[in-house]
Amino acid sequence: MKLLKGEIRHIGEGERYMDYSKIFGGGKVICGMSLRNEDAVFPGGLVPFLPKGTKMITPLQTHSPTVSLIREGIDIEVTPLSDAMVIDRPNVCLTVSVADCLPLYLYHPDVPAIGLAHLGWRGLVAGIVENCVKCLSLNFNCSADRVEALLGPSIGRCCYQITPEVAVLFPEDSSELREGRLHLDLRAITTSKLTTCGLFENNIFSVQNCTSCEGEMFFSYRVEGKEVGRMLAFIQIRG
């Protein structure tokens, strides 16, 4: 796994985005995540960042393992009920909202095809990572060992406290005991699942920011509660 830092770009009146376009997909995709900005969470806030004519899709997220396949003929005006999407069409931007959960970006250069997922512990247990890779591989006839993955900012093991009932749902080395509390490592779990699906570790990239620690840059559900804002993760194939 390669550790990365995204480039922070300022668009318009103070809107900030972490841009991964130069480091993921060899520049053939546009991808990134909005930072702590109440306006940028809405898809319309991405308009200055994306090519003219881009259509955007944001699913209704429920911490499910469901993956929506967005192919030619699918009505992109209909909101998918899922926590992940895959697509092989350019000029359509996939987005998910996050505030501690892990945004997972997938890219297959041969098709090309992309995917985007919202990962919390429930989705990980239910198999959303495996479903995403399978959806790419089966629908676009591509090999998992050519897929590149990017793990965006999320709550880190340093801050992600869980109950013993949640910890037992994952391999023992996915959590550790700190000062009497169990802490879960979403990145380690996701990376392990990706390699089990057939991805090469050298094709997995990770942005190491912790959304809980870095409150000046990110919203955090765990720190600020359910009414907190959200960041918008996004990815699109360049046309």
Query: Tens digit of pLDDT for each residue in 216-225?
Result: 999 999 998 8
Q: Is the pLDDT confidence value at 45 over 80?
A: no
71 vs 206, higher pLDDT: 206
Residues in the chain: 239
> pLDDT at position 226, please?
83
Mean pLDDT to the nearest integer, 150-159? 96
Q: In whole angstroms, give the CA distance from residue 16 to residue 40.
A: 8
Mean pLDDT to the nearest integer, 142-153? 94
Q: How many structural domains compose the chain?
A: 1
Instruction: Look up the domain containing 89 and give its range.
Output: 2-237
Q: In whole angstroms, give the CA distance from residue 225 to residue 235.
A: 27
**CATH, residue 173:** 3.60.140.10
Give the alpha-carbon dihedral of 121, 216, 15, 231, to 10 degrees: 10
Q: In whole angstroms, give the CA distance from residue 80 to residue 183.
A: 32
Mean pLDDT to the nearest integer, 49-74? 88
Please, which contacts does 12-21 make with residues 24 or more away whose CB atoms are closer than 8 Å? Answer: 12/48, 15/39, 15/40, 15/45, 15/48, 16/40, 17/46, 17/49, 18/152, 18/153, 18/207, 20/105, 20/150, 20/152, 20/207
Q: In whole angstroms, give the CA distance from residue 164 to residue 238.
A: 44
Q: Are 84 and 190 in contact (CB under 8 A)?
A: no
Q: In whole angstroms, give the CA distance from residue 74 to residue 76.
A: 6
Q: What is the pTM of this model?
A: 0.93
What are the tokens at 184? Answer: 């879960």
Spell out the residues 6+ positions from residue 221 whose beta carbon is closer than 8 angstroms to its own: 99, 100, 101, 228
Mean pLDDT to the nearest integer, 41-66? 83
> pLDDT at position 10, please?
65
